[in-house]
Amino acid sequence: MNNKEKTILLVDDEAIICQDQAEILKREGYHVITAMSGKAALDELKNGNKIDLILMDIDLGKGMDGTQTAEIILREHDIPLIFLSGHTEMEVIKKTDRITSYGFVVKNTGENVLFTAIKMAFRLYLSHKENLQQAKSIIDSEIRYRRLFESAQDGIFILNADSGKIIDVNPYLSDLIGYTYDELIGKNLWEISPFQDIAENKIKFLKLQKQGYVHYENLPLLNKNGKVINVEFVSNVYMENMSNVIQCNIRDIEKRKKLEDAREVILAGKVTMLRELQHRIKNSLAIIASLINMESNRLPDSDIKESLLKIRNRIDSIANLYSLLNFSHETEKVRLDQYIEKTIGLLFKSYLNGNKKINLETHLDKILMDVDIALPVGLILNELVTNSLKYAFTDDRSGSIRITLENKKNNVIIEVSDDGIGLPSGFTVDDTRGLGMLLIRMLSEQIKGSFKNMSIDNGARFRITFPFKIFE
């Protein structure tokens, strides 16, 4: 605010002196309102004029003098006020000190003295307002804090960080642990039985002091009435009024714990139900496979019997997955290497007879795989190994089938190879119209993988590559 924006009320009963002082102040840039009596000064304020500072002559002739007028004004208005007077007697100065702290200027001591006094009064007033605002902010903050402290639905208590004595407790904590405010204030933390597990002696309290922060997720407290309460306990150290205090917050988690326990029961029930469902699916698949066997044994046509055998083996591949899930008590993941070993082992038993000597070689990395990926992989391998067993070793020739499973750069690579008679001339996986190859191509696309046959000198080799997610 510059001088032109500031209004001074000049109160002096001497008209000429009043006019002269007003002109001096106007030249300095102030807006000036004059009053020649105490009553006139009060009227100016009653009229709603904005007054930034009052220059008050002490001797105002008849009626109220300047000190009486000032006392009336300052009872209702917060305005800086400077007394003007030709008197310098100590009793007069003391009288004005009792009324205002913004100054006393002796008349006719010069313009500079007056201007300096006015500027000083404005600075003092601004400082006073800032101090009042700060004090109000502190009080408001303390009131807000106290309201939060008193109404919080968490237990809160404050400790002296040096002695460990409780210096404040909110009502919620008192109700929670069954102790009154007076029973808690002034006690050491380790003297109150609910907190003996937190700080049962001074050594633990020193640890709390040193760490500055302690958090217990699920802490059982024994309240005064012997009831166990499950709580979450958090404490931290901070500075308050130039000394360290420890604030401890205690949240009753009984309801939350009951909900969590109920959720655990529900989840366990769902897992049990899912495992039972897996077991029933496995049994149902076994029944279907048995029906196919029974039907196949009654049919004379070898081609139909072969088709039924393929169908049964595909069903067995699916059943093997559910068997592993049931054995491992898992619902979402399976060891892919174990699944491959089990599936291929059953295929060998199904197709080989005493006259054929075909070795199985496996080199399988241990990989935990999502069930939704493992199932199509098992069906793919079922088709590839079936083709090798049926077509690669004709005329009772012997040989080997090799299966590898590798984890390379976030990809699964599976190769199935044999040292049999090899693939027909011009063979490509894309042009082959047999159901087996069609299934392999479809299932490879389903797992976002690729399928191709590799060029080798003797026999056949196929590779499947697909991305996968590793379970932690």
Cβ(228)–Cβ(139) below 8 Å? no
Domains of the chain: which residue ranges?
3-142, 152-252, 258-331, 332-472
Strand pairing class (81-85; 104-106): parallel
Cβ(426)–Cβ(380) below 8 Å? no
Q: What is the pLDDT of residue 333?
A: 82
Q: What is the pLDDT of residue 415?
A: 92
CATH of domain 152-252: 3.30.450.20
- 206: its two tokens: 């020193």
**Each residue's pLDDT tens digit, 256-295:** 666 666 676 666 666 666 566 655 665 666 666 666 666 6
- 108: its two tokens: 């006719």
Could you give the strand order of the β-sheet that contains 81-85, starting from the edge strand earlier in sequence?
A: 31-35, 7-11, 53-57, 81-85, 104-106
- 168: its two tokens: 């404040």
CA-CA distance, 73 to 54, in Å (whole number)?
10
CA-CA distance, 201 to 204, in Å (whole number)?
6
In whole angstroms, how far apart are CA 10 and each of 53, 79, 92, 107, 429? 9, 13, 20, 13, 108
Q: What is the pLDDT of residue 21?
A: 87
Instruction: Tell me the whole-structure pTM to 2 decimals.
Output: 0.45
Q: What share of the chain is helix, strand, coil (3-state, %, to 5)?
A: 50, 25, 25
CA-CA distance, 374 to 460, in Å (whole number)?
24
Residues 6+ apart with CB under 8 A from 440: 380, 383, 384, 429, 451
Do the domains spanning 152-252 and 332-472 agree at the CATH topology level?
A: no
Cβ(35)–Cβ(81) below 8 Å? no
Q: What is the pLDDT of residue 231?
A: 80
Class of domain 3-142: alpha beta
CA-CA distance, 34 to 44, in Å (whole number)?
9
CA-CA distance, 58 to 51, in Å (whole number)?
19
pLDDT in tens, the chain (472 residues): 566 678 999 999 888 888 888 898 998 889 989 988 889 889 888 888 888 999 988 888 788 888 888 889 888 888 899 888 876 777 767 777 778 778 788 887 788 888 888 888 888 888 888 887 786 776 666 777 667 677 777 888 888 877 778 888 888 888 888 888 888 888 877 677 666 655 555 566 666 677 767 777 777 777 777 777 778 877 777 777 677 788 888 887 766 666 666 676 666 666 666 566 655 665 666 666 666 666 666 667 667 766 776 776 677 766 666 666 665 556 678 888 888 888 888 888 877 765 568 888 999 999 888 888 888 888 888 888 888 888 888 877 888 999 999 988 889 999 999 988 888 776 777 666 677 788 888 888 998 999 888 767 788 899 999 997 655 4
CA-CA distance, 202 to 208, in Å (whole number)?
10
- 427: its two tokens: 């063979």
Q: Could you tell me the fold of the domain covering 332-472?
A: Heat Shock Protein 90 (3.30.565)
Strand pairing class (399-408; 411-418): antiparallel
Output 262-266 pairs: Cβ under 8 A, ≥24 positions apart: none
DSSP 169-210: E-HHHHHHHT--HHHHTT-BGGGSGGGTTT-SSHHHHHHHHH
Q: What is the pLDDT of residue 406?
A: 92
- Give the distance from CA 160 to its chain's centroid: 30
Q: What is the pLDDT of residue 270?
A: 61
Residues 6+ apart with CB under 8 A from 391: 420, 421
